Structures are given as C-alpha cells and as structure tokens.
Amino acid sequence: MAFLKTISDQVTLNFTGRVNILDKKNNKFLGKVSLLEGAIVYSSYEAKVGKSTLYDIIIEDLEGENLRFVVEPEIVTLSEAIFELSFDELKVSAQAIFQQYKESRKMLPPPHLRLMIDPDFVARGPSVSFWEFETLTVISDFNKVSDIFLESPLSEYQTSLSLVSLRKKGALKVLGQ
C-alpha cells in the first residue's frame, strides 16, 4: 500500500518529478515512476519499461513489502512521457489486475512440474493473446514451471495469467516432475 499512498500524495499535490523505487534491504535502485503535473507519464522497474511495470510494483509492494519509495522533484518534459495515466485510472486497473493475479496464483502448476505445448493446440487451437504467445515461446525452450517464470520477458503477473489461460485452453500438457 505504500506505493499507492506515495503516488496518491504526489498526484494530490500536482507534483512533477519522480518516485524512485529502491530495494529496502540494500537501497538498490530498481526503477522509477515519473509524474508530470500530477499525471503518471513514465514507469520502469527491473529493466522493463511501460505501464505494466506499475502493476509489477504494486504487486511487489502488496505481496512482499520489500520496496522503499523516495520522492524526488525533477524536471519532467512531455518528450519523456510514454503514456498518461491518472491516479484514479491506476487504482481501478490495479485492483482488477491484482484480483486476477491472486486468482491465477491459486491455479498455477507447482514450480517443479515440466510442461509441454500440445501439438494439437498449435494446429487447431483457438487464437492466443500476446502474453500467451510470449509464454508459449518460453515454454518451447524451458519446460519447467520455475524456469518459465525466470526466463519469461513478461512480468510475474503476466506470466501467471498466461499460464492459467493456456491451461484452460488446453494448450499445455504436463510431462511430469
């Protein structure tokens, strides 16, 4: 909750600057969220950039509480903005994504299981989303569930949702342990 409270406070003040995301244990810089006159316009976290990193930060903050947030006034220009999001929009979408994430975590296969893409699904299955495609790409190289999470270019919540969705579509077969 500390992240949402920090962003809420800055939006209320019509703040321009950034909120640095640091590891609580060693103060290592993990990312930043830039605000321009109270609007969220940029986000990066753990070498990823974009709106989806906001949800990674929120999930990490709510699940682990291992993050520290430092507000830093800074000049932010429109040329740095890659999206524009109000706090209310962030709050609504974050609630929905966090709920989906919690539900998907209940249905995830154990980390030690090995998965395989069902060849019949590739030939005749329904279309897949971008996240599902990225997950299938990783599964073609790494079939252990724990490795899929490590190697995926997607965030943890995106990978979780994709694995559950692919499982529901019948795209995956369990090879064993």
Greater model confidence, 177 or 23 = 23
- The 39-45 sheet, strands edge to edge: 48-49, 39-45, 29-36, 17-23, 67-73
Q: What pLDDT score does 51 carry? A: 93
On the question of pLDDT at 41 being above 80, the answer is yes
Q: What pLDDT score does 113 carry? A: 92
Contacts of 111 (CB under 8 A, 6+ apart): 144, 145, 146, 149
**What's the pLDDT tens digit per position in 116-143?**
999 999 888 889 999 999 999 999 999 9
- Give the mean pLDDT of the chain: 92
Give the domain ranges of the chain.
2-105, 108-176
Q: For 108-176, CATH number?
A: 1.10.10
